C-alpha cells in the first residue's frame, strides 16, 4: 500500500553495490586445495591480510558465508588472534566451515567466501579448489 515503509532486503544476492575483493586461501599451506565432498568435517579458509586490509581486525566474523556460491551458511568458527599463513608478516584470519553445508559438488573448481567488515562494507574472495570423493 502507498505510504507503508518497505522492508529492508537483506538477501546479499540482491545487493548490486560494489564489492571489495579480498584474497582468500582455501586450506592454507595446501596446494592444491583438495576437499573431499563425501567426508564430514571442517574446511579451513584463510582471509588474507594485505597492506590495506587487516583481516583479523576488520572482518565481522558473524557475517561469513562460504561455498559454491558464497552464500552458504556453514560458518563454524575463526581462530584468534590470527595466523600468518602466507608468510608475509601479517596475521591472517583462519576460519572453519562445515563441509556438508558448502554446497560444493563434483566438477566445481572454485569456492567463494563472502562477508562484511565490522563497519558494514561487503567483501568477497575466491580460491581454486580440487574436489575429491566424486
Q: How far apart are CA 40 and CA 52, in angstroms?
A: 36
**How much is the pLDDT for 15?**
52
Tell me: the pLDDT tens digits for 23-43? 899 999 888 899 998 889 999
**How much is the pLDDT for 99?**
96
What is the rounded average pLDDT of the residues 81-100?
95
Q: How far apart are CA 129 and CA 112, in angstroms?
A: 10
Domains and CATH numbers, the chain: 18-132 (2.60.40)
Model pTM? 0.82
What is the rounded average pLDDT of the residues 8-15?
59
Q: How far apart are CA 117 and CA 55, in angstroms?
A: 9
State yes or no: pLDDT of 18 exceeds 60: no
Mean pLDDT of the chain: 88
- What are the backbone dihedrals phi and psi of residue 132, each rounded to the nearest 5 degrees, phi first? -120, 175
What is the rounded average pLDDT of the residues 11-27?
71
Cα radius of gyration (the chain): 16
Amino acid at each position: 500500500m502507498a505510504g507503508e515503509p518497505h522492508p529492508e532486503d537483506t538477501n546479499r544476492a540482491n545487493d548490486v553495490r560494489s564489492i571489495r575483493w579480498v584474497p582468500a586461501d582455501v586450506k592454507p599451506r595446501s596446494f592444491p586445495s583438495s576437499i573431499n565432498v563425501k567426508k564430514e568435517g571442517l574446511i579451513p579458509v584463510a582471509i588474507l591480510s594485505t597492506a590495506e586490509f587487516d583481516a583479523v581486525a576488520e572482518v565481522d566474523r558473524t557475517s561469513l558465508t562460504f561455498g559454491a556460491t558464497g552464500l552458504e551458511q556453514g560458518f563454524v568458527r575463526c581462530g584468534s588472534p590470527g595466523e600468518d599463513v602466507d608468510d608475509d608478516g601479517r596475521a591472517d584470519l583462519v576460519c572453519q566451515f562445515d563441509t556438508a553445508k558448502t554446497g560444493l559438488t563434483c566438477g566445481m573448481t572454485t569456492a567463494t567466501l563472502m562477508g562484511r567488515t565490522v563497519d558494514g562494507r561487503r567483501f568477497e574472495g575466491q580460491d581454486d579448489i580440487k574436489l575429491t570423493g566424486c
